[in-house]
Amino acid sequence: MTKTIAIVGTLDTKGEEVKYLKELIERRGHKAIVIDTGVLGAAPFAAEITREQVAEAARADLKELIALGDEGEAMAAMAEGAVKIAQELHSGGGLDGIVALGGSMGTSLGIAVMKALPLLMPKLMVSTVAFLPILSPQVVGKDLTVMPTVADIWGLNRITNRVLENAAGAIAGMVENYEAKGIPEKPLVGVTTVGSSACKYVPWVKPLLEARGYEVAVFHTNGIGGATFEEYVEQGLLAGALDFSFFELTNYLYGTNLGIDRLEAIGKRAIPHVVAPGAANWFSWYGPPETIPPRFKERTLSWHNPLTVGMTMTSEEMVSVAEVMARKLNKALGPTVLLIPTQGFSEYDKPGGRFYDPEGRSAFIETLKSHIEPSIKVIELDLHINAPEFSQEAVAIFDSLMKQGEAYKAV
């Protein structure tokens, strides 16, 4: 079945390569729509979507953009126009996947366009700056694939030819297996975790939910996982959520810069949430030992692997985390229950665990309870978060929320 693939590129600087990629895709039996975002020189061939049309979509005049003499400002306008065109193509049912080709400027523009399209739609960024620090997970997004060009994009040769051939095969394979999905029969429920070494409840929670007729998606809150979970909630792709891991939030506040967006979607989409402060009593530093800041070296450390070390939090830091969590939870729009496992928040937070700190945990719990609005139901359970009984209680409570009132269905 013929699929439609958009190719985003600057034809004035990458025209030869874009044309070859277009031909490769068409040889595979698919339709290729080139979106020209160039502003420097002449295009070597006519694109399906011209640069003039891209500028017009951004309510700009191409000649005026070129006259600015500021490539960055001009490309920002072209990115805006390309986003609108791609969204229109998709909403009209005329887009199955997208591939972009570029250096740092083209990569920035291509990623902006891809981020504006639905999650899990086939997206491929062929980039000269793939895997450099400027392409952090937060910049790239949650669901697009990045392919390095190996050599610079400066004409066709045996290296660039093979890269573009691989790119054509990759995006073609993705769209051939991609079908826009309707509303599934089973409600999709999101569950957050930080991995089985610290949070061992997933093997209990998942089958319990499935036995009650739910489909379960587990999100690893490692920076991208939590952000993806938040986006799934915000876009209405989840019918409900059991949000049990706030490792990203503690990292954002005190360790590696992760999790700024955690617990934000709960205030934007009214779906049932059961929340528990899993992994809220420690954070990590990402990097080899010599990169750990001096202020952390006196803390109790737990090496997860040579590049990741977990470390204890002070009682004052745990109180601050509780205050932030309460402030975010208080914005919840849908039915929300806060479960507090008083016996521990992670496998490290139990007698004999490296981060066992009952005094800090008690301070956290009292702060969280004192800052929560009455609209949020709080239930304390004399259990550890990894106890099977905790999962049983959590799933039963969640199921009751789902059955109350109208049925919450994914969009």
pLDDT in tens, 201-210: 999 999 999 9
Distance of alpha carbon 379 from alpha carbon 400, whole angstroms: 14
Q: Comparing 182 with 305, which gets the higher pLDDT?
A: 305
Instruction: Using the CB atoms, write b or e for 146-171: b if 16+ within 10 Å.
Output: bbebeeebeeeeeebeebbeebbebb
Task: Catalogue the E-assigned strands of 116-254.
Answer: 123-127, 145-148, 188-193, 215-220, 240-243
Residue 277 sits at φ, ψ, to 5 deg, of -80, 55
Question: Six-digit token pair at 241?
Answer: 């959520």
- Which residue in 230, 242, 246 sits closest to 198, CA to CA? 246
The answer to whether residues 192 and 201 touch, using CB atoms and an 8 Å cutoff, is: no
The answer to whether residues 212 and 239 touch, using CB atoms and an 8 Å cutoff, is: no
Average pLDDT over residues 141-169: 91
Distance of alpha carbon 311 from alpha carbon 313, whole angstroms: 7
Distance of alpha carbon 274 from alpha carbon 227, whole angstroms: 18
Q: Measured in Å, how far apart are the chain's first and last C-alpha atoms?
A: 26
Distance of alpha carbon 283 from alpha carbon 291, whole angstroms: 15
Distance of alpha carbon 318 from alpha carbon 250, whole angstroms: 8
Please check the confidence at residue 135 and state whether its pLDDT lies above 90.
Answer: no
Please check the confidence at residue 408 and state whether its pLDDT lies above 60.
Answer: no
Distance of alpha carbon 260 from alpha carbon 250, whole angstroms: 10
Q: What is the pLDDT of residue 138?
A: 65
Q: Comparing 71 with 266, which gets the higher pLDDT?
A: 266
Fold type of domain 4-176:
Rossmann fold (3.40.50)
Average pLDDT over residues 159-167: 95
Distance of alpha carbon 347 from alpha carbon 247, whole angstroms: 13
Average pLDDT over residues 111-127: 93
Instruction: Tell me how far CA of residue 67 lies from CA of 10, 184, 263, in angstroms.
Output: 17, 51, 44
Question: Six-digit token pair at 238?
Answer: 């989840």
Domain with CATH 3.40.50.12020 in the chain: 4-176
Distance of alpha carbon 377 from alpha carbon 404, whole angstroms: 15
Distance of alpha carbon 19 from alpha carbon 156, whole angstroms: 11
Q: Comparing 69 with 403, which gets the higher pLDDT?
A: 403
The answer to whether residues 397 and 274 touch, using CB atoms and an 8 Å cutoff, is: yes
For residue 260, what pLDDT band results from cuts at 50, 70 and 90?
low
Model confidence over 350-378: pLDDT tens digits? Answer: 999 889 999 999 999 999 999 999 999 99
Distance of alpha carbon 185 from alpha carbon 206, whole angstroms: 18
Residue 407: strand, helix, or coil: coil
Model confidence over 5-44: pLDDT tens digits? Answer: 999 999 999 999 999 999 999 999 999 999 999 988 889 9
For residue 257, what pLDDT band results from cuts at 50, 70 and 90?
low
Superfamily of domain 188-403: Uncharacterised protein family UPF0261, NC domain (3.40.50.12030)
Which residues contact residue 101 at a Cβ distance below 8 angstroms, ignoring those fewer than 6 apart?
A: 7, 8, 9, 14, 17, 18, 21, 110, 126, 127, 153, 164, 167
Q: What is the pLDDT of residue 259?
A: 58
Residue with tokens 């660039």: 160
Percent of the chain beyond pLDDT 70? 95
Q: Comparing 312 with 339, which gets the higher pLDDT?
A: 339
